[in-house]
């Protein structure tokens, strides 16, 4: 995709949503970190339902450690893989208390050293909580980047690297949120809403899709 098209691509998304952000509900970097850890293979809606209750009880590393594993599991039991997530959350809280004075670090290496925190989760926290111009590639962004031709790649890391080159610098700070929201609600996996898509004239998928017979 040419530079002029890439500028148009993000200009149209920006016009629709000038200040995009995550749909996860949170207050501060720690709540965001926990919400993102819970969101793996879960919807933002289900996470928000659980964290609304959880954060009212405990929203610091020390408070979650005091809450304990049994109570934590009870609060997040509606979310898939909650046994593993509870264990990772408490291990992460322990490291935050012991090594970071209870504060979420703003460095990639330190974030990825936390149990249950991979590159995607680290990128979400770095971008959303700390303003880093990075893109966290989830299934929506992976699909959209390949489908549109914006940043093709065979793995999430390959797509991330391609996006870092493809996204014009002026749009990089918010690109993650624009792409994930567009992939979630418009460029859907099974039935993309091409007829209502503001990017349709720039999209390789639409251009390759034959017109219906009349």
Enumerate the active-site residues: 120, 138
Tokens at 213, concatenated: 């017979």
Q: Let me know if 47 is exposed, middle or buried by CB neighbors in 10 A (0-12, 13-18, 19+).
A: buried
Q: How far apart are CA 173 and CA 191, in angstroms?
A: 28
Q: How far apart are CA 38 and CA 29, in angstroms?
A: 14
- Map residue 42 onto helix, strand or coil: coil
82 touches 46 (CB < 8 A): no
Phi, psi of 107 (to 5 degrees): -125, 140
Q: How far apart are CA 27 and CA 192, in angstroms?
A: 33
Q: How far apart are CA 17 and CA 21, in angstroms?
A: 9
Give the containing element (helix H, strand E) for 196: none
Look at the block and give the residue holding tokens 């610091």: 60
- Give the single-character DSSP code of 211: P
């Amino acid at each position: 995709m040419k530079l002029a098209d890439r500028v148009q691509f993000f200009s149209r998304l920006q016009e629709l949503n000038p200040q995009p952000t995550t749909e996860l509900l949170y207050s501060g970097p720690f709540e965001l970190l926990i919400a993102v850890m819970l969101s793996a293979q879960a919807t933002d809606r289900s996470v928000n339902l659980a964290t609304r209750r959880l954060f009212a009880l405990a929203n610091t590393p020390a408070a979650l450690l005091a809450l304990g594993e049994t109570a934590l599991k009870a609060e997040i039991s509606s979310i898939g893989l909650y046994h593993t997530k509870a264990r990772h959350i408490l291990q992460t809280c322990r490291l935050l208390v012991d090594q970071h004075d209870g504060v979420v670090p703003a460095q990639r290496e330190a974030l990825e050293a936390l149990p249950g925190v991979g590159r995607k989760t680290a990128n979400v926290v770095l971008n959303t909580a700390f303003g880093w111009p990075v893109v966290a590639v989830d299934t929506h962004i992976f699909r959209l980047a390949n489908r549109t031709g914006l940043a093709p790649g065979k793995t999430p890391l390959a797509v991330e690297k391609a996006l870092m080159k493809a996204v014009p610098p002026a749009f990089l700070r918010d690109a993650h949120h624009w792409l994930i929201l567009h992939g979630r609600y418009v460029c859907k996996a099974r039935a993309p809403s091409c007829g209502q898509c503001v990017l349709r004239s720039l999209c390789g998928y639409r251009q390759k899709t034959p017109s219906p017979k009349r």
